[in-house]
Amino acid sequence: MEKTFQPADIETRWYDTWEAAGYFAPQGGERAYSIMIPPPNVTGSLHMGHGFQEAIMDALIRYHRMRGFNTLWQVGTDHAGIATQMVVERQLEAQGITRHDLGRDKFVEKVWEWKEESGGTITRQLRRLGSSLDWSRERFTMDPGLSAAVQEVFVRLYQEGLIYRGKRLVNWDPALHTAISDLEVVSQEEQGHLWHFNYPLAGGEGHLTVATTRPETMLGDTAVAVHPEDDRYAHLIGRSLELPLTGREIPVIADEHVDREFGTGCVKITPAHDFNDYDIGKRHGLPMINLFDDNAALSDAAPEAYRGLDRFEARQRVVADLDALGLLEKVEDHTLMVPRGDRSDVVIEPYLTDQWYVDARELAKPAIAAVENGAIEFVPKQWENTYFAWMRDIQDWCISRQLWWGHRIPAWYDEEGQVYVGNSEEAVRQAHNIDASVTLRQDEDVLDTWFSSALWTFSTLGWPEDTEELATFHPSSVLVTGFDIIFFWVARMIMMTLHFRKEVPFHTVYVHGLVRDAEGQKMSKSKGNVLDPIDLIDGIELEPLVEKRTGGMMQPKLAQRVEKATRKQFPEGIAAYGTDALRFTYYSLASTGRDIRFDVGRIEGFRNFCNKIWNAARYVHMNCDGEDCGVAGDEPLELSLADRWIVARMQQTAADVARAFDQYRFDHASQALYEFIWNEYCDWYLELSKPVLWDDDASAGAKRGTRRTLVTVLEAWLRLLHPLMPFITEEIWQSVAPLAGKRGDTIMLQPYPEPEKHAQDEQATRDIEWLKSVIVGIRTIRSEMNIPPGKEIPVLLTSTSGDDKKRLEQNSQYLKKLTKLADVRWLADRNDAPAAATALAGELEILVPMAGLIDKDAEIGRLNKEIGKLENDVSRIEGKLGNPGFVDRAPADVVNKERDKLAAQQQALETLREKLQRIQTM
RNA sequence: AGGACUAUAGCUCAGUUGGUUAGAGCGCUACCUUGACAUGGUAGAGGUCCCCAGUUCGAAUCUGGGUAGUCCUACCA
């Protein structure tokens, strides 16, 4: 074995081996366990959020696979309608053409080409993370099978009246030329103005003043509304106003929606361009004037002077023209929420168009019930509130998109515009007796990407066919996801699955936090703070990293800033840490209800942990290869105190890890393993094995027992650790397993260690704790008295307790070796003690004779410090016990515990004071 | 506007049903290349548990009220 752990070659080697051997495919017992991967964008690439999420799923999958579950981790990718189409359109733009130049078929062909070309990136990256996905079952949301499921769902929902087509106000993206759903609109606060305009009363005897943030829409006003009980305006209700610039007259109406306090209390109503105005318009039967075209430029519905102007140009013109007419009352600064498209970042326009909708209210009812009655559980629980709040006020879901990339809506129109929905044109013709002489034209639109994602848990398993996989693996066990897509995806999956399968899509939703950078900032390309998990695995030099982060940036200023920040944060680039270290870092940060700040310092610590593991294995090999490790069981074998102790600790760790998995506390699992492996197995057990293995006088049985424990405990914790660190555990297990008498091609399919309660050994645990405290006592004296670590010193022990004496007899070898003692002796009468430096371990006094070693003043200082601490302690406990309230009202065992503690501390205090006195009188 | 979450060592975070001397990793200090590992070992220093009030014999933990930060939902033209 190499002296240090080198992850690079073993990781890819093992992954290829596993995949080729088919270990990722479901196999195992009656109980099924399944997770459906949240399908990443097929042409995307892995970011830290993915890395985190995949690591969690892989741990769960490997854990259950090892426990004998019939385990499926379903893999697949999403066609990501808008995102993918945008990328390809941008490529065309670079060549100076648009998708319209190509035409629909050619363009879609291009997108498929791009998918083929770049679709491998993310799946390659998933492999680098060690994700044990069943690649043989890989799916894509636009596969024929999944497309058939999408069609089936659409047709059935239409037939049930749960999908309908309607002319409504939608969120229109003027850059992408498509409608988008409410969820795809991101509103942010921006600085704007509030313009006050005077609208003259028809008849010429005065005016009303309205306030607006969007002056250009006044061209489409069809009323002005006031509050019905507003005394200022009550007499004007029903009168008409002259709408300036248009030559139209509009009525003054009364509506409860108007807030009398805001602005002037008069609201201009533009039903075709504002969601609230739309509702008011419907209530009052107002005309709706659609001012804009698809680009949000003014259409022929606007007065001639404004036609063809962009909405923002039109705004300036309208304000200027009203000002010229003397109708601009005033302009105020005003902050307002501006809605922007989450993809395009342009201002979204409420726009009147024909779109397809899903009646979400109806589907939401059983979906709410499923969470209420516990059929689906969120972890952490608090997300259920978020889910309920949204579901109980859910709006119909606009599912049509004016894009070319996606599932085309299975609806056909005849020449009269009559719509027919069915699985194909033939099916439609047949169902409605339409002969070939009638031309049918398919709806141009495609479905929202999330429509197909909503079917993911069952469409991937073969639905609408009645497959064996569906019966076995559906509902899936758990969904692992970020909170940002609870509405986009989780809620819709629950609704669709309950409707079509009459069962939940998953029993548990594990909601993890967002991965942020070390400063707590969201990672984003424009901030230049993104980390690529692959770069943490393989490492990257500074220059390529800078290039990667600034490459393709349009704004030179931004690129400069990103470059500067990158050079500052990673002056040496990023080191190669390996997949196992990266994964372990994710787990250690995965506590619940909290975002993750990714600090490179953490991963370095876990890289070192990998090295520690590696070297522990190296030690075991050095001492056990070619030796009798006692696993055959036919030779006499003797287990030491340390052997029994580490076995007990191992069992406890197995129990801790099992509980952590049960509660989705990966941070607890990782910490339990880290502490056990480093602080107990390596720091103590390996050290305690040396005095036995290197002692020529030790019996063959004792050596055999130690070797057996070394290899069997190592072999067991490798299995325990494997779900979190798959590669290093496999690599080591291959060579260690035979020593432990185990056979098998891979650790992946070995049974997971089950905690055995009876293996607890309290006696051994207490004895080792005693030994540790004595050793630490001696080391402390050594360190604080500046006794060179190599110098062998004598030690005397004395105590009133018989146990202490017995323990010394059993452990003197350990003590001598581990603390470099020339000699350790029991002192029968503590009054015979020579001048010495003293430490206490319970009632035991540890004495390091001063002769030639100890500085008197230093020891006095040390004792005073100890005494000071004890005095504080004693007075604190005395105060507590002196409080009648405490003694009378606290439970007896708590009081007794305090009394015991006080007695022990007083005893220790007395001993040390006595020592101090003796040394002072020397 | 409503709601959720967070606030513990210089930094990143644990802390079960109230009783711990409040812990870990990184960083820091001192010493040490000893036959698994310097990506290491040993011993240390370091905390007003955001603030105020309350409940309690006892509060990092429970309740109320603040402050700061993050986020979600909705929205006043």
> Which pLDDT tens digit goes with each residue over A18-76?
999 999 999 978 999 999 999 999 988 888 889 999 999 999 999 999 999 999 999 99
Chain B bases closer than 7 angstroms to a protein Cβ: 3-6, 11-15, 19, 21, 24-27, 30-44, 56-58, 69-77
Q: Provide the H-helix boundaries in A307-424.
A: 311-324, 360-372, 383-391
Three-state DSSP state, A118: helix
Query: Which nucleotide is closest to A599, CA to C1'?
Result: B12
Taking 80 as the threshold, does the pLDDT of residue A615 lie above it?
A: yes
Strand partners, A532: none
3-state SS assignment for residue A100: helix
Whether the pLDDT of residue A696 is over 90: the answer is: no
What is the structure's pLDDT at A535?
93
Reported ipTM: the value is: 0.95
Sign of CA dihedral A97, A103, A106, A112: positive
User: What integer pLDDT is reported at residue A359 of this predicted model?
Assistant: 92
Handedness of CA A521, A527, A529, A534 (dihedral sign): positive
3-class DSSP assignment, residue A912: helix
pLDDT of residue A516: 84
Range among A622-636, A771-785, A857-871 with highest mean pLDDT value: A771-785
* Torsions phi, psi for A798 (to 5 deg): -150, 150
Is residue A760 pLDDT above 90, yes or no?
Answer: no
**Closest residue, CA to C1' of B12:** A599
**A636 alpha carbon, distance to own chain's centre:** 51
Q: What is the mean pLDDT of residues A261-274?
A: 87
Give pLDDT tens digits for A270-307: 999 998 899 888 888 889 989 899 998 998 988 888 88
Q: How confident is the model at residue A889 (pLDDT cuts 50, 70, 90)?
A: confident
Q: What is the pLDDT of residue A124?
A: 93
Span CA (A771) to C1' (B43), Å? 18
What is the per-residue pLDDT for A801? 81
In terms of average pLDDT, the best of A157-166, A249-258, A379-388 is: A157-166
**Residue type at position A326:** G
Q: What gap in Å lies between CA A278 and CA A281, rounded to an integer?
A: 5
- Determine contact, residues A238/A201, Cβ cutoff 8 Å: no
Does residue A344 surpass a pLDDT of 90?
A: no
Three-class secondary structure of residue A441 per DSSP: strand
Q: Is the pLDDT of residue A859 over 90?
A: no
Which residues, other chains included, contact A417 with Cβ-Cβ below 8 Å and sequence gap of 6+?
Answer: none
Taking the C1' atom of B36, which residue's CA lies nearest? A619
Average pLDDT over residues A105-113: 94
Distance separating alpha carbons of residues A374 and A390, to the nearest angstrom: 18
CA of A31 to C1' of B6 (A): 39
Confidence at A830, pLDDT banded by 50, 70, 90: confident
> How many angstroms is C1' of B51 away from CA of A436?
80
Q: What does the mean pLDDT of chain A come to?
A: 90
A585 CA to B61 C1' distance (Å): 27
Nearest nucleotide to the CA of A1, by C1', is B36
Q: Which of A608, A533, A615 is nearest to A574 (CA)?
A: A533
- The pLDDT, as a whole number, for residue A491 is 94
* Exposure class string for A493-509: b at 16+ Cβ within 10 A, else e: bbbbbbbbbeebbbebb
C-alpha–C-alpha distance, residues A295 and A308, integer Å: 10
pLDDT band (50, 70, 90) for residue A880:
confident
Distances (CA, A) of A501 to A399, A457, A471, A496, A788: 21, 10, 11, 8, 74
Which nt has its C1' nearest the CA of A380?
Answer: B5
- Would you say A480 and A527 are in contact if contact means Cβ atoms under 8 Å apart? no
- Give the residue nearest to nucleotide B21 (CA to C1'): A873
Lowest mean pLDDT of A418-427, A522-531, A718-727, A763-772, name the range: A522-531
Residues 6+ apart with CB under 8 A from A270: A217, A218, A220, A221, A222, A277, A289
Find, among A651, A684, A637, A685, the residue nearest to A761 by Cα: A651
Kindly report the length of chain A.
922
Residue A879 (CA) to nucleotide B19 (C1'), in angstroms, measures 15
Round to a whole number and report the distance in Å from the CA of A871 to the C1' of B15.
27
Which nucleotide has the shortest C1'-to-CA distance from A265? B77
Average pLDDT over residues A667-674: 94
Cα–Cα nearest to A83, from A450, A484, A554, A549: A450
